[in-house]
Amino acid sequence: MPRSICFATSEFTPFAKTGGLGDVAAALSAHLHREGHDVRPFLPLYASLDRGGRDFQPVPFLQGIPLQMGRFQLTFSVFTTQLEGGLLVYFVHCPALYGRESVYGSDWDEYLRFGALCRAVIESCQRMGWAPDVFHCNDWHTALLPLYLRTVYAWDRLFERSRTVLTLHNLGYQGVFPRQALGDLELEAHRELFYQEDLQAGRINFLKTGLLYASVVTTVSRTYASEIQTAEQGMGLEGLLRRRRDSLLGIVNGVDYQEWSPEKDPLIPHSFSAEDLAGKAKNKQALQERMGLQVEPKLPLLAIVSRLTAQKGFDLLFDTLAPVLARGRAQLVALGTGEDRYADFLSWIAKTFPGRAAFHHGYSNELAHQIEAAADIFLMPSRYEPCGLNQMYSLRYGTVPIVRRTGGLADTVELYDPEADTGTGFVFDHFTPVGMGWALDFALRTYHQDPEAWKRLQIRGMQRDFSWQRQGKEYERLYDLLAA
């Protein structure tokens, strides 16, 4: 049955993306729209928004709307643009909050930027006269929305039947702010609804508050859903998550194969498929030339495309990567931005092994596609990984992933078994250089010694189906359950 879903998010590809949340917001919304649901995504109209030459129309009845946030009298307007499939995306325009260089920041008013987003979304629905079956919130940025519905907007019968979903894409970011923020968030009068221990310690936590008040909590893989109930991975929220385990659900992310398919990817020089891998070798040569690597068709090309943060586990490469490059067993291409210690390490590797290793320190969607298309092995040794998309993109492009058995990586990559000739990648258990070294050596040995087995391994991965067509059904079932 068609449902109405208000999708509140801080990222939406291609307009605003820093990681997988943008991809998931866009692809899941597009999928739900195709399936006939009335889905309306809302995100801020950041100054840095990539408009891609699209026309943005003001929504006539959503202009100049006053929004009192404690000491601040704000005004917002809503703009919309229509995507190819017909989906309308809504943008909250409020230059005082979103007229900044980047999507996220470290300014003092970060809480205000996203608290106001939650309220602007609700106020827009009111003025649309629209009562969504479900408000689907994502990460800490929109986690206050369920609480706003039951406090500041409790008077509005329009939302009487609306339920809320909070999807956890990453517990590493919780939105923790000084307690004084309550006034500006218009929630001082409702302080008893916040986690009292936090208040006593002088802070509030957006994500925790969302966990308390969302009708249902989901996260983006089954394994992560159980991991976050433990002290190792719960990041302080494990107790609360355990208490909510009956309404905590793991739904593995899907892949947008419109964007990520080597058969029809306009960003790669040569298309290819599981039936014909010839184009992949040509992409490898093209990338080696572009990145200043020696053109070596027979040398395995290792790849990294990532935010460079502790989450991604690249510490494990500090000891394991250089020996492999020094012995001439592989080449490396890396793309990423983030923390200096990883960027410095990758720059050092590139400088130490010219022609054998290259690092592009930056963000480039085009290069990300070309790397997936060209590389032989993808490195994702994450410390933790709620879902991860790059390993699934890699599988589709015949780029065999090396992953740590955690979160969504554990749910989507199966360990290669040479005897049974099964599996899709190399999976190691322990977050240690020894674990990483074992997987790297296993992969390189297989590549060098058994090209036929390697090809079968690639093809098995390419044939796996992680489409939203499949994964989206679980969200649809959840919305049905909530609406009933």
Closest CB 223 distance from ligand GLC, rounded Å = 11
Interaction residues for ligand GLC, span 394-423 (CB under 6 A): 408
Give the binding site for ligand ADP (CB under 6 A).
Answer: 19-20, 23, 305-307, 335-337, 363-365, 368, 387-390
* CA-wise closest residue to 402 among 336, 297, 327, 320: 320
For residue 110, CA distances in Å to 99, 100, 156 come to: 12, 11, 27
Q: What is the DSSP letter of 411?
A: H
Q: Which among ligand ADP, ligand GLC, none contacts residue 364 (Cβ within 5 to 8 A by kind)?
A: ligand ADP
CB closer to ligand ADP, 44 vs 336:
336
Closest CB 387 distance from ligand ADP, rounded Å = 6
Measured at CB, which residue is nearest to ligand ADP?
A: 20
Q: Is 169 in the site for ligand GLC (CB under 6 A)?
A: yes
One of 5, 6, 21, 403 touching ligand GLC (CB under 6 A): 21
CA angle 125, 127, 131 (to 5 degrees): 40
Closest CB 9 distance from ligand ADP, rounded Å = 13
Instruction: Look at residue 81 and give its three-state secondary structure.
Output: strand
Interaction residues for ligand GLC, span 220-239 (CB under 6 A): 220
* CA-wise closest residue to 30 among 361, 258, 272, 282: 258
Closest CB 34 distance from ligand ADP, rounded Å = 21
Measured at CB, which residue is nearest to ligand GLC?
A: 20
Helices (H) then strands (E): counts for the chain: 18, 18
Q: Which among ligand GLC, ligand ADP, none contacts residue 220 (Cβ within 5 to 8 A by kind)?
A: ligand GLC
Q: Which among ligand ADP, ligand GLC, none contacts residue 306 (Cβ within 5 to 8 A by kind)?
A: ligand ADP
Distance of CA 94 to the CA centre of its chain: 25
Q: Which among ligand ADP, ligand GLC, none contacts residue 390 (Cβ within 5 to 8 A by kind)?
A: ligand ADP
One of 388, 398, 401, 425 touching ligand GLC (CB under 6 A): 388
**Chain position carrying tokens 């609406």:** 483
Q: Is 385 in the site for ligand GLC (CB under 6 A)?
A: yes
CB closer to ligand GLC, 300 vs 425:
425
Q: How far apart are CA 129 and CA 119, in angstroms?
A: 15
Q: Which among ligand ADP, ligand GLC, none contacts residue 175 (Cβ within 5 to 8 A by kind)?
A: none
Which distant-in-sequence residues (6+ apart) come within 8 Å of 387 by Cβ?
A: 20, 24, 169, 220, 221, 224, 252, 253, 407, 408, 411, 412
* CA-wise closest residue to 466 among 407, 384, 390, 385: 390
Closest CB 448 distance from ligand ADP, rounded Å = 28
Q: Which stretch binds ligand GLC (CB under 6 A): 19-27, 38-46, 59-67, 255-263?
A: 19-27
Closest CB 98 distance from ligand GLC, rounded Å = 20
E-strand stretches of 188-281: 203-205, 216-219, 248-250
CB closer to ligand ADP, 193 vs 267:
267
Q: How far apart are CA 304 and CA 359, in angstroms?
A: 9
Q: Is 26 in the site for ligand GLC (CB under 6 A)?
A: no
Q: Is 20 in the site for ligand GLC (CB under 6 A)?
A: yes
Residue count (the chain): 484
Instruction: Look at residue 289 and give its three-state secondary structure.
Output: helix
Question: CB–CB of 172/312 below 8 Å?
Answer: no
Question: Residues interacting with ligand GLC, by CB under 6 A?
Answer: 19-21, 24, 169-170, 220, 253, 385-389, 408
